[in-house]
Amino acid sequence: MISAKTNKRIVRSSAFYDLIMTTGFMTPWTAAWVFSTFSELSAALALERPVPVLDVSGMLFANLLGSVVVVWSLWRLAQPSRRVGLYDALARTLFATWQLYAVAHSASFLILGFTVFEGVFAVAQVWPIRHSGQGSQREKQAPASSGVR
């Protein structure tokens, strides 16, 4: 179990990670640079599956995804909470599922780097929280005094 304070830090950390990783997808110009960089990385690593060049429709979806995730990230940075983290964990589970599906159907293996972070943050955000009223493990194990002597 983790504290509510630690959970909020995890929600903020996941938001900060998303902000860094998706801001480049917000515009056609920055997304083209990101895809070009991924393509160069894929070639340098001699990966068999190349990164695709997006047409206008594909770029539109990359920009929409980038825009929505950046706004969602800003919300989580401003208003982190257990509930927001649980919704984010659900979104991350969906993202990871579709990333695995894409790789299974010949998408670049570079996607799996993102999938690892999706999984780690999803699990971290659903980890049970120790509420302040539960007390410590030591307090639970200590014998209760009856007050009778």
Q: What is the pTM assigned to this prediction?
A: 0.81
Domain-located, residue 140: no
- Domain span holding position 11: 2-132
Question: Looking at residues 11-19, what average pLDDT do you find?
Answer: 97
Amino acid 51: pLDDT: 87
Q: How many distinct structural domains can be found in the chain?
A: 1
Q: Is pLDDT at 137 greater than 60 in this prediction? A: no
Backbone angle region of 136, left / alpha / beta, with phi > 0 → left and psi within -120 to 50 → alpha: beta
Domain-located, residue 149: no
- Per-residue pLDDT of 74-101, as tens digits, reads 999 999 999 999 999 999 999 999 999 9
Question: Looking at residues 50-55, what average pLDDT do you find?
Answer: 88
Domain-located, residue 138: no
